[in-house]
Amino acid sequence: MPSHWTDRRVVITGLGVVTPLGNNLPTLWTHLLAGKSGITRITRFDPAEFDTQIAAEVKDFDASEVFPSPKDVRRADRFALFAVHAASQALKDSGLNLDAVNRDDIGVFVGSGIGGLHTTEQQHLVLLNKGPRRMSPFVIPMLILNMASGLISMFYKLRGPNLATCTACATSSHAMGEAWRTILMGDAQVMLAGGSEATITQFGIGGFCAMKAMSTRNHEPERASRPFDRDRDGFVMGEGAGVLVLEELKHAQARGAKIYGELIGYGNSADANHMTVPDPDGDGAARCMRMALRNARINPSEVDYINAHGTSTPLGDSSETKAIKTVFGDHTRRLAVSSTKSATGHMLGAAGAVEMAICCKAIETQTVPPTLNLDHPGPECDLDYVPHTARAMPVNTVINNSFGFGGHNASLVVRKFVA
């Protein structure tokens, strides 16, 4: 780690989420601890022709709570609306007075794994049925995945570093990690970082069905996402957004900000194995976690809890379990590991940021959320996955894992803040 980074620390001061379990963090957290599932039969369209007919949809979402006019709402894809809504929550939660700070020092790194799939699907139908002259002039800016980051910066006049990551299911974790680096390098004082996804469309569900990647437990949706369970048969699609406010410590302290935790480490690696299949031995994931721990300058034995990627796919869950054993050795048996995707579904590019917000709540409340539906752990899945019920326990240091198609891996280490 470069020597000039050592005098800067990065803390988390604001949290915002839009999820299938609630469109704000208090509701999400309450439902997680209660063991509630956000997975139901798809309502957005008739799923009868699809092998998978279930998903974790965002419910009762009202973009007008943030956007000033219906025209603004019509000119943004659903994923971008989610992102701006989550960012507005995070900024409000942080207590940051934008009129009292230099907006040149505030940046936005918010990505998406797929981007404006609703717009792509709808406008392609317009093209086929009505011709090119009837397409919206906003079709391209609505569907490009960087527009979430762009709209947040425009909405709040944030003129600092701005980019959009796209690494499939690792997207928002990479966004947070790169935002951490940006603050450490002194290129910004505050960063809004995270991701957003809205892919519950006929095109999105059909594409993942063709891959045979999703659960077909259509008769009991709330039990379909079952990470690490013997009977898991694929992930369940979710949607939503997560945005966090990351802030240089002295900047946060100077304004008396509430601090949820300190982001102390980030790992980034590639499996270099297959387009969609993780390394069966978990080598890439293990190297990623080791890098995060090395950058955090802590030993594996200091970690209390891992919020696992844990998607409920047969190979993914077993490879992550192997990776955890490789990295943590004898300490593995003292780790709590859980997958909150069992309740929220898999929000793809938004997952890492929503799960980092959950990690912050775990530290704040000293409580680990459970893994739902873990009735019979798979023979290769033999860790303490906190089945069924939330657990009160010491939670001071947490790893958040995100692994994506293309072999992209991201791990983040967050620690209880100590002045």
- pLDDT for the residue numbered 375: 97
| Host domain of residue 146 | 11-254
- pLDDT for the residue numbered 276: 80
| Confidence at 361, pLDDT banded by 50, 70, 90 | very high
- pLDDT for the residue numbered 6: 61
| Confidence at 1, pLDDT banded by 50, 70, 90 | very low
Q: Of 31, 118, 346, 408, which residue is the catalytic one?
A: 346
Asked if the model's pLDDT at residue 32 lies above 90, the reply is yes
For the stretch 376-403, pLDDT in tens is: 999 999 999 999 999 999 999 999 999 9
Question: Across the chain, how many H-helices and E-strands are there?
Answer: 13, 14
- Tell me, yes or no, whether 107 and 33 share the same domain: yes
Strands 397-404 and 391-392: unpaired
In a domain, 70, yes or no: yes
Using an 8 Å Cβ cutoff, are 245 and 93 in contact?
Answer: yes
Query: Distances in Å between the alpha carbon of 84 and those of 147, 150, 175?
Result: 10, 10, 16
In a domain, 32, yes or no: yes
- Tell me, yes or no, whether 190 and 150 share the same domain: yes
For the stretch 296-308, pLDDT in tens is: 999 999 999 999 9
- Tell me, yes or no, whether 163 and 28 share the same domain: yes
For the stretch 100-139, pLDDT in tens is: 999 999 999 999 999 999 999 999 999 999 999 999 999 9
Any alpha helices (H) in 24-146, and if so which ranges? 25-33, 70-74, 78-94, 117-130, 139-143
- pLDDT for the residue numbered 271: 82
In a domain, 97, yes or no: yes
In a domain, 1, yes or no: no
In a domain, 106, yes or no: yes
- Tell me, yes or no, whether 245 and 288 share the same domain: no
Domain termination site, one of 200, 220, 254: 254
In a domain, 20, yes or no: yes
In a domain, 26, yes or no: yes
359 is catalytic: no
- Tell me, yes or no, whether 283 and 332 share the same domain: yes
- Tell me, yes or no, whether 193 and 316 share the same domain: no
- pLDDT for the residue numbered 392: 98
Q: Is the pTM of this model over 0.75?
A: yes
- Tell me, yes or no, whether 244 and 305 share the same domain: no
For the stretch 319-357, pLDDT in tens is: 999 999 999 999 999 999 999 999 999 999 999 999 999
- Tell me, yes or no, whether 241 and 310 share the same domain: no
Distance CA 409, CA 390 (A): 27
Domain count, the chain: 2
- Tell me, yes or no, whether 152 and 290 share the same domain: no
- pLDDT for the residue numbered 229: 98
Of the candidates 88, 76, 112, 74, the one whose C-alpha atom is nearest the C-alpha of residue 18 is 88
Strands 408-415 and 261-270: antiparallel
Using an 8 Å Cβ cutoff, are 113 and 348 in contact?
Answer: yes
- Tell me, yes or no, whether 299 and 219 share the same domain: no
Asked if the model's pLDDT at residue 22 lies above 80, the reply is yes
Burial of 275 from C-beta contacts in 10 A (0-12 / 13-18 / 19+) = exposed
The string of DSSP codes covering 24-57 is SHHHHHHHHHTT----EE--SS--TTSS--EEB-
124 is catalytic: no
- Tell me, yes or no, whether 316 and 205 share the same domain: no
Domain termination site, one of 226, 254, 282: 254
In a domain, 6, yes or no: no
Cα 187 to chain center, whole Å?
24
| Confidence at 81, pLDDT banded by 50, 70, 90 | very high
- pLDDT for the residue numbered 5: 52
Q: Which of 32-41, 266-275, 346-355 has the lowest mean pLDDT?
A: 266-275
Q: Of 309, 359, 381, 408, which residue is the catalytic one?
A: 309
219 is catalytic: no
Query: Residue 188 is part of a domain; what is its CATH number?
Result: 3.40.47.10
- Tell me, yes or no, whether 290 and 243 share the same domain: no
Crossing angle, helix 78-94 and helix 117-130, to 10 degrees?
A: 150
Q: Of 169, 209, 359, 381, which residue is the catalytic one?
A: 169
